[in-house]
Amino acid sequence: MNKNEINKLLEPINSFLKCNTPEKWIEKAQKNENLDIVLLDHLVCELKAAQSAMFLIRKYAVDKESGNALLDWLKPFETLIYKRQGDWRDLANKNKLTKSMIPKSNTPYGQNLIDKMVMLIKEELHHFYQVLEIMDEYGVEYRSITPCRYAKGMLRHVKSYEPDALVDKLIIGAYIEARSCERFAKLAPHVDKRLGDFYISLLRSEARHYQDYLTLAQDIADFDINDRVHFFGLIEAELISTPDEDFKFHSGLPSS
């Protein structure tokens, strides 16, 4: 993508987000000594994005048999991360579904949710594999890291009744994808060409994911979601712009 294409793609993202990534975060993220934590957290974020999308399908849109097929699809990726078992190179052939998924008959939005979330999962798992390739190239070994406050800070505000809870989760998904897109674009000019090109290559899918989440949220809601979008936008901006001692890909203003 050239600069004009990137700027055009980022326009709606920047309008959607309530604040820009702090310059201090960009300065810290581009330092060589922080490359490992940025890549490790990026890796985990890709898996968590796939897991979150899978949870939404299993909870809201498919029967038990199809839900189990989803679990089997994700298992090799989870086993590598959580049990340290398997060769990451084998995952290239694991990103496939072996069974069709059938929406629950009482879920009118089921097929739409499945269609968008299955594509998202496949793309997130492909990105997961790409990050593993880059980690191998850069000599970064996988190690367990703790999650930052970001997603949890938004999820604690999810309503407790349906379909509002699902709508809130989809809006949060939109903010996570939009912020990822914005940060990849901010960081790309400050890292080496290999990594910068990779970050730029992710922009289209991240931008589409954020739109898919928002579209689903409004389709499912029986009300105008703009107030909830604004509500979570303010929470997301506070998490991004306030001091944060834990430096990660989605962390806030670095405290040092």
- Residue 157: which pLDDT band, with cuts at 50, 70 and 90? very high
pLDDT in tens, 97-116: 655 667 776 777 888 888 88
pTM of the model: 0.94
Q: pLDDT tens digit string along 171-219?
A: 999 999 999 999 999 999 999 999 999 999 999 888 899 999 999 999 9
User: For residues 54 and 95, what is the distance between their CA atoms, to the nearest angstrom?
Assistant: 13
CB atoms within 10 A of CB 219: 15
Dmax over CA atoms of the chain, in Å, equals 53
Question: How many other C-beta atoms are found inside a 10 Å radius of the C-beta of residue 108?
Answer: 11
pLDDT at residue 3 tops 60: yes
Mind spelling out the 3-state secondary structure of the chain? CCHHHHHHHHHHHHHHCCCCCCHHHHHHHCCHHHHHHHHHHHHHHHHHHHHHHHHHHHHHCECHHHHHHHHHHHHHHHHHHHCCCCCHHHHHHCCCCCCCCCECCCCCCHHHHHHHHHHHHHHHHHHHHHHHHHHHHHCCCCCCCCCCCHHHHHHCCCCCCCCHHHHHHHHHHHHHHHHHHHHHHHHHHHCCHHHHHHHHHCHHHHHHHHHHHHHHHHHHCCCCCHHHHHHHHHHHHHHHHCEECCCCCCCCEECC
Work out whether strand 243-244 and strand 253-254 pair parallel, antiparallel, or are unpaired. parallel
pLDDT band for position 96 (cuts 50, 70, 90): confident
Q: What is the pLDDT of residues 4-62, one digit of tens each?
A: 889 999 999 999 999 999 999 999 999 999 999 999 999 999 999 999 999 999 988 88
pLDDT reported for residue 63: 84
